[in-house]
């Protein structure tokens, strides 16, 4: 695609500047005054556009460092939009979950064949750590391991859009607290599947791992009355039929 077309589609002189000047990740930018002189626009307008770029994760602003270009990350843009849609009720977590499932199943084959022996060892360690938490006293929910395991399976994909979508999904998942009131049995079932998936990957039984992945999606409480209730209360409030609160411990 013609680079000029891309530039014209970017509705921000500041973002156009980053592209046009080929500012690379890690590069420090001139002051807003200098950029404003180059572009012929006011510092006030540039400051507004800088804030948008910062929220998108494209630049950072720090004392004694100034404005610095950051590596492209698709997640911030997706996450902000997703959280807004979930917050207003114009979208539901069911929609986001459907997208995530489609992404993981579509890119499964490409992702798993790229996993290294060290990656598979890491997956087994995550499973072991999760079981240690679930079987410990007191019991702890392995939320972090849940996220890490799924992201680790797809970590070798050379596709920043897929990586960004999955990162944003897990951020939204945690923000919605969809499984906050899930039963202890739910977590046992989830991690039994995770263990079988990882075992299949370690044995290079990728098709079996895929089938287990698809099966385990049915455990997600996104198509039930429970999910609807949790989505409605995702931004505060309790539910009368809570079983065992799932925050840091049970």
Residue pair 188/142 in contact (Cβ under 8 Å)? The answer is no
For residue 249, what pLDDT band results from cuts at 50, 70 and 90? very low
Decide the pairing of beta strands 59-62 and 66-69.
antiparallel
Exposure letters 106-128 (e unless 16+ CB within 10 A, then b): ebbeebbeebeeeebebbeebbe
What is the average pLDDT value for the chain, to the nearest integer?
Answer: 88
For residue range 121-168, list pLDDT tens digits in order. Answer: 999 999 999 999 999 999 999 999 999 999 999 999 999 999 999 999
CATH class of 75-232: mainly alpha
* Cβ-contact 24, 34 below 8 angstroms: no
Report pLDDT for 250.
38
Number of CB atoms found within 10 A of residue 56's CB:
18
Name the residue ranges covered by the structural domains of the chain: 3-69, 75-232
Q: What is the mean pLDDT of the segment spanning 47-75? A: 95
Give the Cα separation of 17 and 212 in Å (integer).
Answer: 47
Q: Which pTM value belongs to this model?
A: 0.83
- Res 10: pLDDT: 86
Specify the higher pLDDT residue, 8 or 21.
21
Task: Give dist(CA 97, CA 92) in Å, integer.
Answer: 9
- CA-to-CA distance for 156 and 11, rounded, in angstroms? 32
Q: Are 132 and 77 in contact (CB under 8 A)?
A: no
- The CATH-assigned architecture of domain 3-69 is Orthogonal Bundle (1.10)
Cα separation of the two ends of the chain: 53
Q: What SS3 state is found at 175? A: helix
User: Is the Cβ–Cβ distance between 182 and 247 less than 8 Å?
Assistant: no
Residue 224's pLDDT is what? 45
How does residue 7 score in pLDDT terms, banded at 50, 70 and 90? confident
């Amino acid at each position: 695609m013609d680079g000029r077309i891309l530039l014209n589609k970017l509705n921000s002189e500041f973002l156009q500047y980053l592209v046009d000047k080929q500012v690379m990740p890690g590069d420090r930018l001139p002051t807003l005054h200098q950029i404003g002189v180059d572009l012929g626009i006011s510092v006030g307008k540039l400051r507004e556009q800088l804030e948008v770029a910062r929220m998108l994760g494209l630049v950072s602003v720090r004392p004694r460092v100034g404005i610095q270009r950051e590596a492209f990350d698709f997640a911030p843009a997706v996450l902000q939009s997703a959280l807004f849609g979930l917050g207003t009720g114009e979208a539901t977590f069911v929609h986001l979950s459907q997208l995530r499932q489609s992404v993981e199943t579509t890119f499964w084959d490409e992702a798993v064949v790229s996993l290294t022996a060290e990656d598979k060892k890491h997956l087994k360690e995550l499973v072991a750590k999760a079981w240690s938490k679930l079987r410990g006293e007191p019991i702890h929910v392995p939320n972090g391991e849940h996220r890490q395991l799924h992201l680790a399976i797809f970590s070798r994909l050379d596709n920043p859009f897929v990586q960004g979508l999955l990162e944003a999904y897990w951020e939204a998942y945690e923000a919605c607290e969809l499984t906050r009131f899930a039963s202890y049995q739910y977590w046992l079932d989830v991690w039994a599947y995770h263990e079988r998936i990882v075992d299949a990957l370690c044995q290079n039984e990728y098709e079996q791992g895929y089938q287990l992945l698809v099966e385990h999606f049915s455990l997600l409480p996104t198509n039930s009355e429970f999910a609807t209730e949790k989505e409605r209360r995702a931004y505060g409030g309790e539910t009368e039929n809570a079983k065992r609160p799932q925050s840091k411990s049970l």
